[in-house]
Amino acid sequence: MSQGVTYADLRFVRTPPERSQEKGTWNQLDQIQMPPSVPHPSAPLPDPSEGELTYENVQGPPGQEERTPTATEGRKESDRRTWYANLALLAACLCLLTTAIGLGVQYWQVSRQLQQANEDGSALARRIGSKEGSLAQAQVQLEEAKEELHSTNETLRSCWAAGNRTQEKLRQANESLMLTQQEKEKLQQQLDQTMKSLEEAKSCQEIGCCPHGWNLFRWKCLWISNNTKSWGDSWAACKRESSQLLVLKPWSAKQLWGATFIDKRTQYWIGLEGKWYKKWVDGTNYEGTENIGTCRSRGNCVQMSNRALQWCGCSTKARYICEKNAQ
C-alpha cells in the first residue's frame, strides 16, 4: 500500500479454497513454538461472515478504492508460510541434533572420567590397604618399643634411686670423715698441750713453781679454801692472794673433779657469772659445752658440785677455788 490512502470499512474475504488443503500441514506445526513477534502460521484468518472490520481515520493515497486479494497472492502467502515452517522445523532438528551430539560427547567424557576415577579408586584402595598393613605393623613395633622404653625407664629409675642412695651414703661418710678428722685434730692438739703441760709440770715439781699450800694442776696453781664465803667475798679473797677465782680453761669440771685435792662432798665457787651473758672473771666469754644446772638458791653465780656446774644465788656461802699461773 501507498501512504495517503484511507481505507474505510475494509473487509477481509473468506479463506481461499487452497488454504483448506494446507490446513493439515499447518496443524503439524502447531507444536513448534514461534517467537511472540511472528504470528503463528496456523492462526485462522478472519471470517467475513463474522462481521466487518472497520479502520477509522486510516490515511492513504487519495482516490484508491478497495481491492480484494486474489488467489495467486493467497498461494504466495501460503508458500511463504510453508517455507518459514520448514525452515523453523529444520532449525529445530539441527538444534536437537546438536544437543544430542553434545550430550553424547558429555556422556562419553563423563564415562571416561568415571572409568578413570574407578581405576584410580582401585589403585588408591590397594595403596590404602598396603599402607594400613604397614601402619598395623608399625603400630605393633611401636607398642613393643613402648614396652621396652617403659622397662628401660624402670631400670633407669632404679639405678637413679640406687645412685642417690649411694651418693647420700657417700656424703654422710664424707661428713663423718670430716668430723672425725676435726676431732682427731682437736685430740691431737689436746694431746700436744697435755704433753707440754706434763713436761712443764714435771719441771715445775722439780723446781717447786707453786707457793706453799697451793696445788699444781695442768700448769696452774690452785688454792682450796677451808672456810665458806659468798661469791663476792670469795672473789675479793682471791684478789688479796694475787690470784682470781678459778677459770675452767682449757679443762672441764669433770677433769678437775678427779684431782686428789678436791673434796668430793662439798661445793666450790668458780669465776663464772651472769646467767644471760656468761662471763669469766678474766673478761672472756664462756665457750664450754657443759650443761649448767640450777641449784635451790637460784642466781647468776656458778658453783662446781659433783662433776657439774650450777647457777646459784651469789650470796650463798660456799668454799671457793683460787688460781694463778705457775712460776
Sequence-separated (6 or more) residues with CB below 8 Å from residue 69: 13
pLDDT of residue 208: 64
How far, in Å, CA of 127 to CA of 134, rounded? 10
Each residue's pLDDT tens digit, 67-93: 555 778 778 888 888 998 899 999 999
Cis peptide upstream of residue 16 (ω within 30 degrees of 0): no
- With 50 as the cut, is the pLDDT of residue 9 above it? no
From the list 51, 58, 41, the residue with the least C-alpha distance to 14 is 51
* Tally of CB atoms within 10 A around 259: 12
- With 80 as the cut, is the pLDDT of residue 40 above it? no
pLDDT of residue 303: 93
Q: Which amino acid is at 258?
A: G
Each residue's pLDDT tens digit, 175-224: 989 999 888 888 888 888 777 766 655 656 555 678 888 988 877 899 99
- With 60 as the cut, is the pLDDT of residue 18 above it? no
pLDDT of residue 239: 94
Each residue's pLDDT tens digit, 256-294: 888 888 888 899 999 999 888 889 999 999 988 788 899
- With 70 as the cut, is the pLDDT of residue 19 above it? no
For residue 19, what is its C-alpha cell? 488454504
Cβ pair 312, 303 in contact under 8 A = yes
Each residue's pLDDT tens digit, 297-326: 889 999 998 889 999 999 999 999 999 988
- Chain CA centroid to CA 219, Å: 72
Each residue's pLDDT tens digit, 52-69: 444 444 444 444 444 555
Claim: this prediction has a pTM higher than 0.85: no
Q: Report phi then psi at 11, rounded to 5.
A: -120, 145
Each residue's pLDDT tens digit, 113-141: 888 888 888 888 888 888 888 889 898 99
How far, in Å, CA of 192 to CA of 2, rounded? 162
For residue 192, what is its C-alpha cell? 700436744
Helix (H) / strand (E) containing 182: helix 71-207
Instruction: For Cα atoms 68, 70, 72, give the angle at the middle one, nearest 5 degrees.
Output: 160
How far, in Å, CA of 245 to CA of 239, rounded? 8
Q: Report phi then psi at 205, rounded to 5.
A: -65, -35
- Select the more confidently predicted residue: 40 or 233: 233
Helix (H) / strand (E) containing 120: helix 71-207
- With 70 as the cut, is the pLDDT of residue 37 above it? no
CATH code assigned to 214-325: 3.10.100.10
pLDDT of residue 235: 95
